Amino acid sequence: MHADLQETNWVPRSFQEAARNLAKEAVKHFVRPNQVIGLGSGSMAASIVREMANFDGKETLECIPTSFQIKLEAQCSGLKLVDENKMPEVDVVFDGADEVDAKFNMIKGGGGALLREKIVHSAAKRIVIAAESTKFVPTFSWPVPIEIHPFAIHIVKKKLEDIAGGRPKMRMLKEGYPYVTENGNFILDTSFDFPSDIRRQEVELKNIAGVIEVGLFTRHANAYYKAKEDGSFETIENQ
């Protein structure tokens, strides 16, 4: 279990140059005037949001943030924010990841925004993921964030243990209180012995009554930006 699953907009010093470089490339390649853009979370996604402040025609962009944190980042960058009424028109979403496996499945939700992120992913015509090279792994090692309704906490924990073979742990704040998402729900960070069929596991977990959303993202992105410690980055396209 990772000690602190909360994502921040702080980029590790060794990756800061790579974050700036890939942000410029991502904006140049994917952003066009008059687009509706989904804003995911994570330090690398925040770097792309900051670069969008330099986009010629940014006043024509309409952005949908997935968390309060990224909303503040967008506001500081002078971007126009719109509500969920624009969701069916999302042209591209920029997002981060906690882990990306060898088959390009992802674990997301370290920052607690997995529900809104998955909604925006489902609506977007294109998905762009940016993450540090250390987050690209052969197989998952992170626990899966599972957002649950507070009324269902005890039954969901039991079903995760008995049916799915999971080892759930309630996400807590440093003050000792349960972490509450922006949607008013709890998160169970759940470790698994992952099967080969991640998509099937995603569906099975979603079918547990009381589970709102699962931090397994099996829709593959159109492009992945892998930031490296030497300031360079690798682009992996999946057309």
- Catalytic amino acids? 117
Give whole-number Cα distances, 170 to 157, 162, 177, 184, 234, in Å.
Answer: 9, 17, 10, 14, 35
Q: What are phi and psi of 127, to 5 degrees?
A: -120, 135
CA distance 234 to 130: 10
Which of 181, 239, 238 lies closest to 215, judged by CA?
Answer: 181
Q: Which amino acid does the sequence have at 176?
A: G
Q: What are phi and psi of 39, to 5 degrees?
A: -115, 110
CA distance 222 to 173: 35
3-state secondary structure of 33: coil
